[in-house]
Structure 1
Amino acid sequence: MITRLLAAAAVLALPIPLAAQEESAPAAEQAATIEPQVRTRDLVGTFGGQRMSYRATVGETVLTSDSGKSEAVIVTTSYVRSPRDTSRPVFFIYNGGPGSGSVWLQMGAWGPKRVAIPSDARDDGAPPYPLVDNPESLLDVADLVFIDPPGTGFSYLTPGTDPKNYYGLREDARAVAEVIRRWINDNGRWNSPKYLGGESYGTTRTAMVVDELEGGTFNDVGLNGLILVSTILDFAAREPTPGNEMAYVVTLPNMAAAAWFHGKAEAPSVEAIAEEARRFAIGPFASALLKGQDLPDAERAAVRAELSRLTGLSETYLDQANLRVTSQRFYKELLRDRGLTIGRLDARYTGTDYDNAGEYPDNDPSFYGIDAGYTAAVNTWLREGLGFETTREYQSIGREPGQHWNWSLSSGPGRSAYLNVAPLIGKAMRQNAGLRLFNAQGYYDFATPFFGAEYSLNRIGIPQDRVELHYYGSGHMMYVRDEDRAKLSRDLRAFIRNR
């Protein structure tokens, strides 16, 4: 896929038969009618204690096929300090999904405006949702470029474009890398310090994009740092497929943290019980699971008792589950005696199901507790605040990309069932001695467990002296908690300044 803008005249000038001209007319017309929209506003704000002027730009980048057809329109929202200073770092940011727009990190964590929703794990209720200044924005230390990949936010594929060209591990990374290269070139930032990162699947995307930017032989884009929020790199380690014991090992510390938060387990702090659970998980628990049906009764009883102490689940329930409790079952079982379920994205949140007899919760209270506020905020800010004009709906969590996603790392024949992109990060760090990694995890995040992130990032081949691990007392979107949003920004400011 060669991505570039092509003048409509060049397409129409090609000598082709009349029938082919008639057949290709819609594609040519599509290429001719897409004029990238760019909207700018010059604004002032206070970030990290610094009063500063900045320019906000919402712009479209059109990606084309080899034949010149406009295939994808990618929307970026950038915030650049005024006057422009090319010595400043620039941070390229996206969310995950696949299919998630950048709304979450932009309107919740690092954009100059944020939506104010309850910080104490209560739902966001009904509108209006306050849109407030965000002093925790990172604009004091870096210019910010939020990217909505194809099929997310206001970005879209044009009619007739094959989704397989953009919806996949490699395909998505190539498109995002091209947008980054274009932005760098258009803004004269080739020699600026550069940071790349995202949240959830955005951490997977980071591994893929850094391989696109630095993994070639020519025209490499050097990076200073990778910023991972709620990391998922090794997918096999979190899938509770029968026989895959690692899924139970990496989620056990999350269960202990959630049990502690809701008063079902005792420890001096969440940090203390998380460490107890780590040691038990990788030691006696992992050993017991790997022994399978050869596990002696006495050892099973000892493991079951400790598992009950850490998770708050009864020994009877653990015995019936063969010591292997899936996250979905845990959400329902932990607070069944109170008639409540707990959240997947953030176990601090609780919900009430239709009834209390089911095995799994009806929904995730930590998602429906925040989604309306964020959707309202991003539409208000981009449309009214920055003047972006479109009849398209903003796709906070778009379904289309996930329906077509190519999860294979291999472009040729053969199986790639074990998806682990962490080695790509290791390769990039080994080939770039100045590349550092920042990893942020919430203790109450079951979507991307913190112990799973630790497990994937301490594998062979990843330089440990350039990896920073940071923890927060909330879940997947730790910035919804006021204390954690401030801490996350402080931690990242230090990381960027220490280059």
Structure 2
Amino acid sequence: MTRLLRSAFGALAFLMIAAPSFAQDEAASTPAAAERIEPQVRTTEHTGTFGGVRVPYTATIGEMILEGDDGAQEAVIVTTSYVKDPRDPSRPVFFIYNGGPGSGSVWLQMGAWGPKRVAIPSDARDDGAPPYPLVDNPDSLLDVADLVFIDPPGTGFSYLTSGTDKEKYYGLRQDARAVAEVIRRWINDNGRWSSPKYLGGESYGTTRTAMVVDELEGSTYNDVGLNGLILISTILDFAAREPTPGNEMAYVVTLPNMAAAAWFHGLVEAPSVEAIAEEARQFAIGPFATALLKGQDLPDAERAAVRARLSQLTGLSERYLDQANLRVTSQRFYKELLRDRGLTIGRLDARYTGTDFDNAGETPDADPSFYGIDAGYTAAINQWAREGLGFETDRGYNSIGSEPGQNWDWSLGSGWGRNAYLNVAPMIGKAMRQNSELRVFNAQGWYDFATPFFGAEYSLNRFGIPQDRITYEYYDAGHMMYVRDEDRVQLSEDLRAFIAAR
């Protein structure tokens, strides 16, 4: 054999031996062959008393993997379900999430409807330092419905895998499609296609509800019929909330909140919060709106009359209102209302008060109604998920994750974005018109500036939304009305009645 042939055969033999190794190395470096995530699922058995009924139930906390068109694992979604034993496919199931965007389901799970809740002060006091007691929750809705808490991508323990494009999941449509897929898969995996189904959330979770119902009921080939939408602290029409120059509606819808807060802190007189709220509604939609729309053509006499009445309703001085051109932003109101007492009031719940670094600023240093509750809720969800339900992870729980909000796509398409006119209420109207048995439950706190009650009323009474299938309920707290013990009890009773009335 010649030297050339020996060299050729040697090279060929080397390639034949080395080829599998090269193939393995190449396969290991491709995304499709990367180590696959095996979803964690933990199931435990429990018994509790809810709504006066003793209920045995199975709790399941588990990961659901969402994949791209190429089969790559893109998102790991954690759901926590509580299902009454023995399983009953005819029983209602309620899919629940919070808002943000970026907020985990901890708030509604550990504060309102989960079988356990965190016990923090009910009277608008700071939750202070640990320990934060984890107690049985008799106000859970497990006596009337199975509960599925969903943490969308970037919230709670849910996350996007390395390399996943954030634009595929962080946005109005993108988020709704992911949540809708989770709901469809849970229904399928648990044999619940014929169960009555309720869908709902809090704050941005109400925005998500409008988007998700459009995905579920608007899908021609994979339609999921719903019995009810449950909206807690509703925000559907964003243009009516943000006071950008020239947007007068934002001042109109927040005025009743200012009157309610002023009444709570003893600065205006009325027989009840309901009474002062109604006075403010009528003034806001009448003389106040008229005055604002007149702009610089507003006559002096009319301006003086509106200013005087505005002062009576808000507790702010006429001088301050005059300097603000009758237009007081919520941020300014938090600082100004109790300035003479050296206090600020809360955004999420105006019952809460805080003390700033100094009293000279225009806006508060922080929201006392958020830092007054956040530590207790974070401790509760970590303790319950890890110790009570057996979930194992090194990841921290994102009660309010910043990544989704910082990367959120607020566009609905066709050039309409958040700063143009973002209003998702018409999606609820469309779903109700196309489903004659779909009903809506709307819950609002009188002292909630994050999602004003008058703004919710305004967005839901537009044309195209059947009014005879909407239930409105109001509570003597703020954005998270369930932090007040009496309101948590009432909210659960109201929802039991809503579900039973189907």
In the superposition, the TM-score normalised over structure 1's length comes to 0.95
Distance in 1 between residues matched to 2:297 and 2:415, nearest whole Å = 38
- SS across alignment from 2:312: helix
Question: Residue 303 of structure 1 aligns with which residue?
Answer: 306
Distance in 2 between residues matched to 1:289 and 1:315, nearest whole Å = 16
1:90 pairs with 2:79: no
State which of 12, 29, 40 in structure 2 corresponds to 1:25.
29
Distance in 1 between residues matched to 2:347 and 2:250, nearest whole Å = 15
Distance in 1 between residues matched to 2:437 and 2:38, nearest whole Å = 39
Deviation at residue 103 of structure 1 after TM alignment? 0.1
Number of aligned pairs? Answer: 480
Deviation at residue 415 of structure 1 after TM alignment? 5.7
Distance in 2 between residues matched to 1:134 and 1:413, nearest whole Å = 46
User: Could you say what the CA RMSD is over the residues aligned between the two structures, in angstroms?
Assistant: 1.3
- SS across alignment from 2:331: helix
Distance in 2 between residues matched to 1:330 and 1:39, nearest whole Å = 47
- SS across alignment from 1:208: helix
- SS across alignment from 1:199: strand
- SS across alignment from 2:421: coil
Q: Which one has a bigger Cα radius of gyration?
A: 2
Question: Residue 457 of structure 1 aligns with which residue?
Answer: 460
CA shift digits 1:97-139 (9 cap, x unpaired): 0000000000000000000000000000000100000000000
- SS across alignment from 1:33: coil
Letter matched to residue 252 of structure 1: L
Question: Residue 258 of structure 1 aligns with which residue?
Answer: 261
Question: Residue 5 of structure 2 aligns with which residue?
Answer: none
1:165 pairs with 2:168: yes
Deviation at residue 65 of structure 1 after TM alignment? 0.5
State which of 216, 221, 241 in structure 1 corresponds to 2:219.
216
Question: Residue 109 of structure 1 aligns with which residue?
Answer: 112
Letter matched to residue 27 of structure 1: P
1:235 pairs with 2:238: yes
State which of 275, 278, 288 in structure 1 corresponds to 2:278.
275
Question: Residue 394 of structure 2 aligns with which residue?
Answer: 391
- SS across alignment from 1:57: strand
Distance in 2 between residues matched to 1:95 and 1:215, nearest whole Å = 22
Deviation at residue 27 of structure 1 after TM alignment? 2.1
Decide whether aligned partners of structure 1 residues 415 and 113 sit closer, same or farther in structure 2, where only a CA change above 3 A counts: closer
Letter matched to residue 300 of structure 1: R
Deviation at residue 216 of structure 1 after TM alignment? 1.9
CA shift digits 1:154-191 (9 cap, x unpaired): 00000000000000000000000000000000000000
State which of 320, 324, 330 in structure 2 corresponds to 1:317.
320
Distance in 2 between residues matched to 1:205 and 1:477, nearest whole Å = 17
Question: Residue 55 of structure 1 aligns with which residue?
Answer: 58
- SS across alignment from 2:142: helix
Distance in 1 between residues matched to 2:233 and 2:179, nearest whole Å = 20
Displaced runs of 4 or more, over 6 A: 18-21
1:409 pairs with 2:412: yes
Decide whether aligned partners of structure 1 residues 129 and 409 sit closer, same or farther in structure 2, where only a CA change above 3 A counts: same
Deviation at residue 28 of structure 1 after TM alignment? 2.9
State which of 280, 290, 293 in structure 2 corresponds to 1:290.
293
1:486 pairs with 2:489: yes
Question: Residue 75 of structure 2 aligns with which residue?
Answer: 72
State which of 184, 188, 205 in structure 2 corresponds to 1:181.
184
Distance in 2 between residues matched to 1:442 and 1:483, nearest whole Å = 13
1:432 pairs with 2:435: yes
Letter matched to residue 255 of structure 2: L
Deviation at residue 52 of structure 1 after TM alignment? 1.2
Q: Quick one: percent identity of the two aligned structures?
A: 83
Question: Residue 18 of structure 2 aligns with which residue?
Answer: none
Distance in 2 between residues matched to 1:57 and 1:25, nearest whole Å = 35
State which of 142, 146, 154 in structure 2 corresponds to 1:139.
142
CA shift digits 1:413-443 (9 cap, x unpaired): 5666200000000000000001000000000
Question: Residue 14 of structure 1 aligns with which residue?
Answer: none
Distance in 2 between residues matched to 1:99 and 1:140, nearest whole Å = 30
Decide whether aligned partners of structure 1 residues 415 and 339 sit closer, same or farther in structure 2, where only a CA change above 3 A counts: closer
Deviation at residue 403 of structure 1 after TM alignment? 1.1
Question: Residue 14 of structure 2 aligns with which residue?
Answer: none
State which of 314, 327, 332 in structure 2 corresponds to 1:329.
332
State which of 131, 142, 152 in structure 2 corresponds to 1:128.
131
Deviation at residue 20 of structure 1 after TM alignment? 12
Deviation at residue 29 of structure 1 after TM alignment? 4.5
* Deviating more after overlay: 92-101 vs 211-220: 211-220
Deviation at residue 219 of structure 1 after TM alignment? 1.5
User: Tell me, which stretches of 5 or more residues in structure 1 are unaligned?
Assistant: 1-17
Deviation at residue 362 of structure 1 after TM alignment? 0.3
Question: Residue 418 of structure 1 aligns with which residue?
Answer: 421
- SS across alignment from 1:393: coil
1:361 pairs with 2:352: no
Distance in 2 between residues matched to 1:52 and 1:457, nearest whole Å = 36
CA shift digits 1:376-431 (9 cap, x unpaired): 00000000000000000000000010111000000x55666200000000000000
Determine if contact 2:410/2:417 at 8 Å carries over to the other structure.
no
